[in-house]
Every structure is written in C-alpha cells, then in structure tokens.
Structure 1
Amino acid sequence: MKNLRELWGARFVHYMTEFQKYMKYVVTGHLALVLVFAIGAGGYTYSEWLKEVSPDFPAALLAAIIIGAALTFSAPITLLKPADSVYFLPMETKLQLYFKQSLRWSIFSQLPLPFILYIVALPLLSATETGTKAEFLWLAFFIVALKWIYVETEFYFRHAKSGDWVWGDRAIRFIFASLFIYFWLSPYPYLIILFAVLIGIYSTYWRKQKQSMPFPYEHFITLEQNRMMRFYRFANYFTDVPHLKGSVSRRGWLGFLLPPTRLEGADAGKYLVKRTLIRTDDIFWLWVRLTAITMLGAIFIPFPLVVYIFTGALSFASAIQLIYALRAGEEFRMDMLFPINKRSKAIRSTVRQVQWLQALFVLITALFTFGFGGTPFLLGIIILAVSEITLQATKEK
C-alpha cells in the first residue's frame, strides 16, 4: 500500500464484499413480503391515528426525543484489525488520513436512520401544526450537521477516554440534540443558538483532549469486532456464518427461573437446558426479539385475521429456532458427565414453558388493543397450538 488512504480503500472493498455476501441471504422475497405487510399495517394505523390526534399532542417533544436518540448513537466505523495495534505504531502520526475516510463513511452510513425517523415524524408535525415548511427543510439540514459533529465528537471522546464513560457522553449529547430540535420546532427557535454553541464547545473540548492521549488501539479494535459480531449474529438467523462466536452472560436477575433442584436423572437435564437458554446470548435474545415483535404486531396490526397469521408465523419461528439452537453445538456440555438420555425431552419441556410465557405476554398486550374479547385469548391459543405442533413435528426418534 502506498498510503493509508489506499489501505482504507482496500479494507472498505473487503468489508462491502463481506457485507453483500451475507445480505443476499437476508434480503429475500420472503422478507420483502413481511416488510410490505408490516409497513402497510403500520402506515394504515398511523394514518388513522393522525386523523384523530389532538392539536395539543406534544409532537415536537416526541420528534425531538426520537431523532435526538438516533443522532446520539454515533459510534465510528474504523475497520481496524487486531494486528493494527502493532503495525500502525510507526504511522501513528499519520493516522488522521485513515480516520478521515473512516469518519466520512460512519456519517454516511448512519444518516439513513435519523432521516427515516424525521420523514415518519413529518405527518405528525403537520397534523399538529408544529412548524412550517421552511422550518422542516432547515431541520433536515440540522440533522446532517448534528450527525457529522456527533460522529466526530464520539470519536474524540473514545480516543481521549479509551472508551470509559461512553454512556455519560451520549447522555450529554442526547440532551443537547433533543433540546436543539425541540426549541427549533417551538415558538422560540432562536434558543437553538445556545445549544449550537454548547455542542460546538463540547466537541472542541474533546478534540483538544484527545491530542495529548495515545491512540487506544485495543478499544477501537474491540469496538469494531463487536460491531461485526452483531452483524454476523443477525445474518446467522438467515444462513450459517462461520465467523460467528457465541457469548454467554450470567443474568443473575433471572435466577428465580432456576430454583435449586436435584441434579439427578431428568431434573438435571431440564436444569442444564434452562441454564443454556437463559445464559446463551444468541438463544436468549432470539426469543426476546421474536416475542417483542409479536407483541408489537398485536398492538399495531388492527386486522384480527392478519394478526392471527402474523402471530402464528412468529410463534413457529420462535419454537423451531429454539429447538434447533438448543440441540446444536458440538462443544462440551455438563450433561455429558452424567448418564442422561432424556435431553430431547428436556428441550421440548423448556421450549414449551417459554412459549407459554410468550402466549401470556402477547395475550396481555392484545388486551390493550382489542379489549376483553375473543381475539386476545385466540392469539394465546394460536401461539400454544403452533408451538405444540412444531414440538411434535420435530421430535427426535
């Protein structure tokens, strides 16, 4: 490589190739169909709600909080590798050229989310007569400027503090961005000058602080590795990803689900399977995400027939993915130390229990949308029936 600009270009090409390799399995016709139904149902519900929204609804505050949160999360994308902590040392004084390209890509790749939220908020702002067209156009410009400044500020902060107190930095920037947007949409738009000055001073302060600190290679390398692992975990829901590395968390707050039990026979098998489900990050968060999506569907989909199909499909996805996730793995397990031959039964029992929990959560959520009637209870029955059919169809012989 002649210079660091070419190095960034080579790494970016490799990154995009890797990204496209897995995204072709994610973006399929099935996903497009689901998105069409979800966006259509959400858009219809949103438009119907806008017809009845009160002019006193705090639209400016809500838009400021949502867009401000999207602007605040501005972690830089550096594409650094573990070996860089050694090979980049002689070029540390010239790294600015590399990170200039890095920050540009970080800004460009992170702009769509706040812009999508901004576009979604526009009908609400118009319905409540919050702001004018000129103010909306200027707000789009401010979103670009704030994202640019925030990506650079988070990079400066991480450089100066080696990643410590990142959430404190984000809390401060969230307050600044939210108040900036809120006052721009309020009757007192001139107050944004105060927050613009504060944002500029804050960014300049951390820019000066990082100049006297050595570059924290380990922090930025770990940040990049974690970012790629999140992408690989997402892609792994659609295809096998060899780069994926599992992780575990204790989750002591769920200890009540693992009461003391006799580690004999079937009890030991059930205990170890439950422990695996609760403490394995991929399996646990898979169930949490699918349950949360099902609950959101029960809230925002106004058509009973559509919500029945939606709930049945996700309950099937929850049950079958939990079953195969708990069966998978060639690594050592504690039950290999004991003569237990009922692991398959323990898996079915555990999946059945968590699907009962999913049915209960969805039923309670649906009560707020459909009231006390047959629809919420029918949703719970659908989840239990589909899960049980899936358990019986995947029973090992």
Structure 2
Amino acid sequence: MFKYLRYVFNDHFVLALLFIFGGLGLGYSNYLKSLPLHADYFYAKPLVALILVVTLQVGNLATLLKSADIVFISPKQAEMPSYLNKAFNHSLLFAWGFDILVMLCLAPFLLYATTFTSIQLIYLGLVVLSLKYLLLKRQYLALYQHKFAQLSYKLLLDVFFSLLICLGALYFNGLYFVLITAALGIYVERMVKQIQTQEVFLWEVAIANEQARMLVLYRFFNLFTDVPFLQAAAKRRKYLDRFLPRPKPKHPYHYLYWRALVRNGEYSDLIIRLNLLGAIILYFVHEPWLAFLVSILFIYMLGFQLMALYRHFDEIVFTHLYPVTEKQKLQAFQRVLQVTLGISALLFAVINSLQTNTWLLGGEIAVVLFLEIIGLTGPYLKSRLGKRA
C-alpha cells in the first residue's frame, strides 16, 4: 500500500487536494452560516441518513488471504477463528476512523439544520459505529455460510436495515437504538462462535472476497500509476463501431488506438470514472478559481494515465512489421489523445456553464483546457515517452 500511496500523494496532487478541500470547506462553512440555528429543515434528516448509509458501505473485511494449495491450507481450519478475529479488529478500527470523520463533518449541519442536541449527536455516532460492526460481522459470517453473501442479505442488512436504524436514531431517542444495535451485536457475536464450531471455513469464498477487495484498491491506484496486477478484459462493444474510424493501410495505429481505447476496460473505465467524478465535483463548485483548478487537474490526470496507451501494442510482434515510422505512430496517438481530452474539456466547460448560468466562464475554461491539451499532447507527451524509451 505504501509503495503505491507515494505515487498517489505526490507533490502536485497533494497541493491540488489542499485547494479542493479548502474550497469545499469554505463553501460548506458559508452554507452553514446562511442557515438559521435549529431551522429543522424537512430534508436534513433524510439526507443525513442517506449519507450515513452510503458511507457505511465503505470499508470491507480485510482477511489478507491469498490463493494457495487447498490441501496445504485446509489443516489450518482450527486456527482460522483466532486469525479472523485479529483481521476483523484491524478492519473495524480503520472503518471506524472513516465513520468518525464523516460524523464530524455532518455534526455542524445537524446542529444547524435540525433541532439535534450534542447528546443526540453522540447517540447517533454510537449507532453508526455499531452498525459498522454489524455490517462487518455479516461479511465475517459469509466466510462460513453462503447465504450471508447473497445479494438479498446484503440489501436487507447493509442497506435497508441500516437506513431504518439511522432514520430511527435521527427522529426518535437515539439511546434506544444504541441499545438495540448493542443487543444485536451481542447476539451476532454468539452466532459467530456457534457457526465457527459447526461450519467449515469457505476458503475459496474468503480468497475471492479478498481478491475483489484488493482489486478495488488497485483500480484506485491505477488512476495515478501503472498497476501490473490489473488485467482488464476486452469487450467487443459492436454498437460503437459506427463512431470509430475505418482501417486504412497508411494509418494502422489510428485504427488500433481507437479500438484499444474503446474496447479495453482499463482505458474505457478510466475515462468514464474520471469524467463522471470531475463532472460531479464541478457541479457543486461555486468558486470560479476552484472550477478552473479542478478542470485542469482532471484533464491532466486523464491525459497522464492515457499515455500508457502509446505502448499498448509494443508486445505484439506483428506491429513491428508494419511499414510505419515512429513519427507516424506518435502523430496517430496525439490525434486520439487530443480528441479524447477535447471531449472531456467540452464536458467540463458545459458543466461549469450550467452550474453558474453563464457561458462566459465555460468558454474561458474551455480555452484554458484546450491550451493545456496542446501542452500535454505536445512537449509534455514527447518528454514522457522519451523517459520511458
């Protein structure tokens, strides 16, 4: 994790995060100041409950198990409860840390926009921590019984039950729901001990769950650097063929790069995620300077990650037989990258125009982003490719 985090929190990204969170914090503070104290808005409590349920889904049980010979690891069955308890405590501490941060962010809003008191806020916080404990225990039980891993159980326990408890703690006396979740925690703990003595540990399920958890982390790291563990599957996406260029003998790489960009899940998912995330952030940004900064940052991140596409076909021996020069290959890649980044720039400019109700800001951002694209696909691209050569 530390190996990849140093690429995530590099100097540029840390500086951008300081501006982004500073701007969001300032906007949040100004919004709270505009609210009358204890206004008790009708939408406040349902909104907080929804946010809490969504954030409760963050953080899964980390067992750190890896694929191994099942004959070798099966004798370790009796030792797994002790190991899983340590893994559970480790996962719970990290999850609780995130939930406490969320509660600290929501606390001012609850105190201003509702009639909540400090003691009710403490009760709600305890309910949230108890719910996270129960959610992780559900994942724990899924390592022994398949039914707890079913989608119906996930929706019932992780979403609907959590939403019901959060709404109850928000609208009624939170102490009652603290006691309810605590009693459920004691019951679930007894159930876990009973199941561990009666059921066989599901090694394949546990390993598959851990691989899925790590895949989420690797996909996040892949936004900032190349991760060799990711192997995205190619998808045909025939419905997009009409929008892609036809094969031409003189421009084979123009044809190849577009199809790799559309059909390879690593690149297409990256484009969708960054554009969607950038659009959502820009929609809630009211400061023009912050909108400029966020737009420039996301175009840079997208362009930086897509530069790996240039070497995508280097491992295929047949591409080295093409009568195409390196200059023609670079020009084809520049055109593909310019069009892709240009579409993202237009999207960000339109979002800013809709958010501010003025096309002037959107036009200014579009000009700045197109200048950035020229720099990224020109001198910067050549310098990056030169370093990798």
TM-score in same-fold range (> 0.5): yes
Secondary structure, aligned partner of 2:232: coil
Secondary structure, aligned partner of 1:159: coil
Q: Aligned in 2, Cα 1:278/1:172: closer, same or farther, shift over 3 Å? A: farther
Question: How far did residue 85 of structure 1 move?
Answer: 3.0
Question: How far did residue 298 of structure 1 move?
Answer: 2.6
Work out the CA distance in 1 between the residues paired with 2:333 and 2:156: 42
Work out the CA distance in 1 between the residues paired with 2:73 and 2:254: 50
Normalised to the residue count of structure 1, the TM-score between the two structures is 0.81
Equivalent of 1:322 in 289, 292, 306 = 306
**Structure 1: tracts of 5 or more residues without a match:** 1-18
Matched to 1:214, the amino acid is V
Q: Aligned in 2, Cα 1:272/1:325: closer, same or farther, shift over 3 Å? A: closer
Q: Aligned in 2, Cα 1:315/1:82: closer, same or farther, shift over 3 Å? A: same
Q: Which residue of 2 aligns with 1:43?
A: 25
1:122 aligns with 2:107: yes
- CA contact under 8 A between 1:249 and 1:280: conserved in structure 2? yes
**Structure 2: tracts of 5 or more residues without a match:** none
Secondary structure, aligned partner of 1:227: helix
Q: Aligned in 2, Cα 1:198/1:376: closer, same or farther, shift over 3 Å? A: farther
- CA contact under 8 A between 2:57 and 2:158: conserved in structure 1? yes
Work out the CA distance in 2 between the residues paired with 1:298 and 1:46: 15
Work out the CA distance in 2 between the residues paired with 1:163 and 1:363: 45
Work out the CA distance in 2 between the residues paired with 1:197 and 1:141: 9
Work out the CA distance in 1 between the residues paired with 2:211 and 2:133: 23
How many matched pairs? Answer: 377
- Write out per-residue CA displacement over residues 317-369 of structure 1, whole angstroms, 9 at most, x where no aligned residue: 32243134333564327756755554333322222222222123212211232
Q: Which residue of 2 aligns with 1:10?
A: none
Q: Which residue of 1 aligns with 2:295?
A: 311
Q: Aligned in 2, Cα 1:157/1:223: closer, same or farther, shift over 3 Å? A: closer
- Write out per-residue CA displacement over residues 7-63 of structure 1, whole angstroms, 9 at most, x where no aligned residue: xxxxxxxxxxxx333334433443332221111100111122223456424121111
- Write out per-residue CA displacement over residues 216-268 of structure 1, whole angstroms, 9 at most, x where no aligned residue: 22222132233334434444555565x5333225274x832654764332565
Secondary structure, aligned partner of 1:248: coil
Work out the CA distance in 1 between the residues paired with 2:197 and 2:260: 46
Work out the CA distance in 1 between the residues paired with 2:243 and 2:318: 18
Matched to 2:66, the amino acid is K
Secondary structure, aligned partner of 1:223: helix
Secondary structure, aligned partner of 2:142: helix
Question: How far did residue 101 of structure 1 move?
Answer: 0.8
Q: Which residue of 1 aligns with 2:14?
A: 32
For 1:135-154, what aligned pairs fall within 5 Å after superposition?
135-154=120-139
- Write out per-residue CA displacement over residues 154-196 of structure 1, whole angstroms, 9 at most, x where no aligned residue: 2212431188534751453211111111111114658848974
Q: Aligned in 2, Cα 1:356/1:24: closer, same or farther, shift over 3 Å? A: closer
Equivalent of 1:387 in 373, 376, 389 = 373
Equivalent of 1:218 in 192, 198, 204 = 204
Work out the CA distance in 2 between the residues paired with 1:380 and 1:69: 34
- CA contact under 8 A between 1:59 and 1:125: conserved in structure 2? yes
1:299 aligns with 2:283: yes
User: Is the deviation greater in 371-380 or in 69-78?
Assistant: 69-78
- Write out per-residue CA displacement over residues 123-154 of structure 1, whole angstroms, 9 at most, x where no aligned residue: 11111124221111112222222111210112
Q: Which residue of 1 aligns with 2:43?
A: 58
Equivalent of 1:358 in 322, 339, 344 = 344
Question: How far did residue 292 of structure 1 move?
Answer: 3.3
Work out the CA distance in 1 between the residues paired with 2:270 and 2:22: 25
Secondary structure, aligned partner of 2:144: helix
Q: Which residue of 2 aligns with 1:101?
A: 86
- Write out per-residue CA displacement over residues 73-99 of structure 1, whole angstroms, 9 at most, x where no aligned residue: 453111112126332211213311111
Q: Which residue of 2 aligns with 1:3?
A: none
Work out the CA distance in 1 between the residues paired with 2:137 and 2:313: 41
Q: Which residue of 2 aligns with 1:83?
A: 68
Equivalent of 1:244 in 209, 229, 236 = 229
Q: Aligned in 2, Cα 1:158/1:94: closer, same or farther, shift over 3 Å? A: closer
Matched to 1:287, the amino acid is I
Work out the CA distance in 2 between the residues paired with 1:163 and 1:257: 42
Normalised to the residue count of structure 2, the TM-score between the two structures is 0.82
For 1:367-378, what aligned pairs fall within 5 Å after superposition?
367-378=353-364
Work out the CA distance in 1 between the residues paired with 2:87 and 2:299: 41
Work out the CA distance in 2 between the residues paired with 1:106 and 1:85: 25
Equivalent of 1:281 in 253, 257, 265 = 265
Work out the CA distance in 2 between the residues paired with 1:382 and 1:165: 49
Work out the CA distance in 1 between the residues paired with 2:338 and 2:187: 52
Matched to 1:26, the amino acid is V
Q: Aligned in 2, Cα 1:299/1:160: closer, same or farther, shift over 3 Å? A: same
Matched to 2:357, the amino acid is G
Q: Which residue of 2 aligns with 1:255?
A: 239
Q: Aligned in 2, Cα 1:192/1:387: closer, same or farther, shift over 3 Å? A: same
Secondary structure, aligned partner of 1:265: coil
Work out the CA distance in 1 between the residues paired with 2:158 and 2:196: 18
User: Is the deviation greater in 174-183 or in 79-88?
Assistant: 79-88
